[in-house]
Structure 1
Amino acid sequence: MLLSRPLWLRDADRPVLFSVVFWTMLGATAIAHVSHRETGGMAVAFGVDLAVVTALWLVLPWRRDGGWRRHVAVVFLLATLTLGPAGSAEVHQLLTLIAIANIAFVHGMRAAFFIIGWTSAALFVSVVMWFGRGVTDAVAQTAVFVVFSAFVLGMTSAVLEARSARADAQRLLARVRELTVAQERARMGAEMHDSIGHHLTVIKMSLENAERFRTRSPEAAWDDVRQAKGLTVEALADARRWVRALRPLALEGRVGSAALERLAASFDGTGLAVSFEVVGGEVPLEPDVELVLYRVLQEGLTNAVRHAGARHVRGRLAFDGGHVQLVITDDGRGRDDGAAGGFGLRSLAERARAVGGTLTAGDRRGGGFEVRAELPVRAGVAS
């Protein structure tokens, strides 16, 4: 089975086009030799050389590394060159060009240019001295070889540049993800400090007052204890909300609208009535888009509980072709006239823009607050 082969026999770094050309030209070289009906030692030498070229192709590296396989590239080049004297009728030259391209992949472009120069000189001399042809024929054959070599190295350079760009993009994406996680943790840490930290501070002060007045003014001490008890309940509710906020996007195997409905249902018991509906034919969403929708609903519900004094929140997820819209409305007191947008909403607006969408938030006509996210189904496609 293919999956049981060693990695070097199914090298993902080997360009597919080179594989197609190699096997095609290998067959053409064998057919050309057979058509000349060589016999005896020459036929045996050619068959052995062809078998060596085939075996070396299977273990050729296609990326720079310090392993033993980097030396295989040189041996493979020499094996393709010897196909000519063994009787390939010059059909093997494309195999030599592939070998030179492999040198560029493994040893660098400078090494490949050196090989081309050396091979061009050897080809010129062999045409004149070995085959007894004129200088004009030698120049013509050498020029053809140089032109095809330049073409192959141009393709190789493009592949190497694409690999480098892909590696840079992957490193950048990993860095962006790290920064996003760090920013989210910083935001949530600040929010937890402001909410739970405040409650714990007041609880501490109330208990200290109760301890101080427990003998002189027992009734006042019990008032402080009752206040601390009430604040403990609020702090516990806050802690539970943050636990919900830290839950992963796939809730018990749910994704898409099912995950959002589950998130909305998880706010039952907070004193907030939450309804959620899905409009239109649901389509699969890219993970980045799905995560933004999840965080928008999370932020809208949390703000409604903590700041708006709302009694009911309504979420609406609508699919329309290549776009999806999430609207969260509440019947709370809205935002103060002088208040600026919170850090959470600003951060979510940036994340919406990052996937090609928009996020707006503001007071509703008739009271309440609304958060509206409009995103493409596929991240990066402008709305």
Structure 2
Amino acid sequence: MFNILGWRTFAIATVIMSQASESQSSLLPLLANLESLLLGIVAIAQIIVTLFSSLPNLLFINLLGLGCFTALGRIKPHQTFSKLMYTLIEFCLIFYLAIVSNIALPTALFVVLVIRNCLLWEGGYRNWVTILSLFGAIGTLTHKLSNEILLFNFHSEQIVLSWIALSITFSLGILFLQLLVDAGLKEQQRQKELAIANTRLRQYALRVEELATVQERNRIARDIHDSLGHSLTVFGIHLEGALRLLKSDPAQAEELLLEIKQLNTTTLREVRESVSALRSDPLQEKNLEEAIAILITDFHKSTGVLPALDNQLKATLSHDRNIVIYRILQESLTNVRKYAAATTVNIVIAQSIQDVQITIEDNGQGFDLSQNATGFGLQGMRERVLALMGQLEIFTAPNQGCRIIATLPLSEHIG
């Protein structure tokens, strides 16, 4: 009966530990269940042995000692000395129950000790306690067999075979348990580190979003100051002049009012462009070709210059790439209209197997790239292109026009 209960104990432990390997995230509850199961088996075995065996056995003392050993599992020492004393008390209690009061299945108590040890100690301490538990279990088993503390009579050869079988079984079970718990704890540590990394990543993303929001607000503030603020100032000056000349020089006053009307038209167009730039999806309800055509038409109306477009797209691109292409063209044409004073603008959208290339070239006054490389418009284009693992090149110099080349990889294109 001793052999049967021993084998069943390890069989149940193996089943529970195999479940733990399938779900390491629930390792601690499974180990707690395994500990409770083993202690319950020891208690039941002790009652059965008391009822059906004539061997001397102290049921009350054994159950009391088992209760004390169970209660020790609720204590969680933290200091090294406290851990040493805690482990020593557990060893002494198990040896007393196994040798003095002859408790049933003492090896199961050593398995419980190993479970607690894996959660209590780290590194070399854990290995040493496990080794001591293994030798302690084999020692108590040897004590029982050598003193023939058995429920049935066995030949000496059977006793030796039983000792070898149980020793090997227990050793393999302890080794498997140790490896399983080590793997589970390492996995939990990696999950904690991953959770910390994810938290930091979310924090970095929020910071990037905040910085991008601040940058966009600064750009909008600059646009309002440069366009709308300037226009309102001119409105005030022209209205004041028109009111002053209304009686003395009506013709001059009318000319000022016409200028105000023209300036109002220009200002409204710039406000619409700013609002369009703020839209999260400028291609909503239209495709890329239609959106580019609207950009070119608006540019022609406001400047009198009709950009030449050579669109060589052969496949439907992803939505993200279409938006980047649109934003690059929008920002480039806005810069040409505001600063370049160009008379010709050429746009080429070429596609190869690996990438799509957007080129915007004008014959305007150009600029010094070293002094304007961090402007909001250029920086925005760079960020959009880099977000798709692309490349942005700008070739310009004062009085030599400007050529912008954006190259976007087609790793996600739809053929």
Q: Same fold (TM over 0.5)?
A: yes
In structure 2, the CA distance between the partners of 1:295 and 1:130, relative to structure 1 (3 Å rule), is farther
Offset, 1:183? 1.1
1:141-187: CA deviation from partner (whole Å, max 9, x where unpaired): 64564355334433443343334323322332332233223212311
Quick check: 1:80 aligned with 2:111? no
Offset, 1:215? 3.1
Give 1:324's aligned residue: 356
Contact 1:283 1:319 in 2 (8 A): no
Larger Rg belongs to: 2
Separation of aligned partners in 1, 2:369 and 2:122: 69
Specify the SS of the correspondent of 2:372. Answer: coil
Q: How many percent identity over aligned positions?
A: 23
Quick check: 1:238 aligned with 2:249? no
Offset, 1:367? 6.7
The one-letter amino acid of 1:326's match is I
In structure 2, the CA distance between the partners of 1:344 and 1:257, relative to structure 1 (3 Å rule), is farther
The one-letter amino acid of 1:129's match is T
In structure 2, the CA distance between the partners of 1:205 and 1:323, relative to structure 1 (3 Å rule), is same
Give 1:273's aligned residue: 306
Separation of aligned partners in 1, 2:120 and 2:235: 74
Q: How does 1:170-189 map to 2 (within 5 A)?
A: 170-189=202-221
Separation of aligned partners in 1, 2:285 and 2:141: 73
Separation of aligned partners in 2, 1:309 and 1:212: 34
Contact 2:242 2:253 in 1 (8 A): yes
Contact 2:242 2:257 in 1 (8 A): yes
In structure 2, the CA distance between the partners of 1:339 and 1:145, relative to structure 1 (3 Å rule), is closer
Q: CA RMSD in A?
A: 4.9
Contact 1:276 1:314 in 2 (8 A): yes
The one-letter amino acid of 2:31's match is L
How many residues matched?
Answer: 307
Separation of aligned partners in 2, 1:197 and 1:221: 23
Give 1:374's aligned residue: 407
Offset, 1:251? 1.6
1:129 to 132, 140, 145: 140
In structure 2, the CA distance between the partners of 1:79 and 1:150, relative to structure 1 (3 Å rule), is closer
Offset, 1:206? 0.7
Give 2:284's aligned residue: 252
Quick check: 1:205 aligned with 2:237? yes
1:289-315: CA deviation from partner (whole Å, max 9, x where unpaired): 555433221111112222333455332
The answer for unaligned runs of 5 or more in structure 1 is 1-35, 63-71, 88-92, 104-108
Offset, 1:232? 1.3
Give 2:90's aligned residue: none
Offset, 1:327? 0.8
Separation of aligned partners in 2, 1:233 and 1:295: 24
Give 1:221's aligned residue: 253
Specify the SS of the correspondent of 1:244. Answer: helix
Quick check: 1:341 aligned with 2:352? no
2:223 to 187, 191, 198: 191
2:393 to 351, 360, 367: 360
Separation of aligned partners in 2, 1:214 and 1:238: 30
Contact 2:307 2:345 in 1 (8 A): yes
The one-letter amino acid of 1:333's match is G
The one-letter amino acid of 1:78's match is A
Contact 2:24 2:188 in 1 (8 A): no
In structure 2, the CA distance between the partners of 1:311 and 1:239, relative to structure 1 (3 Å rule), is farther
Contact 1:334 1:363 in 2 (8 A): no
Contact 1:326 1:372 in 2 (8 A): yes
The one-letter amino acid of 2:30's match is F
Give 2:181's aligned residue: 149
In structure 2, the CA distance between the partners of 1:247 and 1:261, relative to structure 1 (3 Å rule), is farther
Moved more, 170-179 or 251-260: 251-260
2:341 to 300, 306, 309: 309
1:358-378: CA deviation from partner (whole Å, max 9, x where unpaired): 3233459x9753221123345
Separation of aligned partners in 2, 1:338 and 1:148: 62
The higher relative CO (CA closer than 8 Å, separation ≥ 6) is in 2
Decide which structure has greater helix share.
2
1:251-295: CA deviation from partner (whole Å, max 9, x where unpaired): 2245666655565556564344245443254364483x5554332
In structure 2, the CA distance between the partners of 1:74 and 1:196, relative to structure 1 (3 Å rule), is same
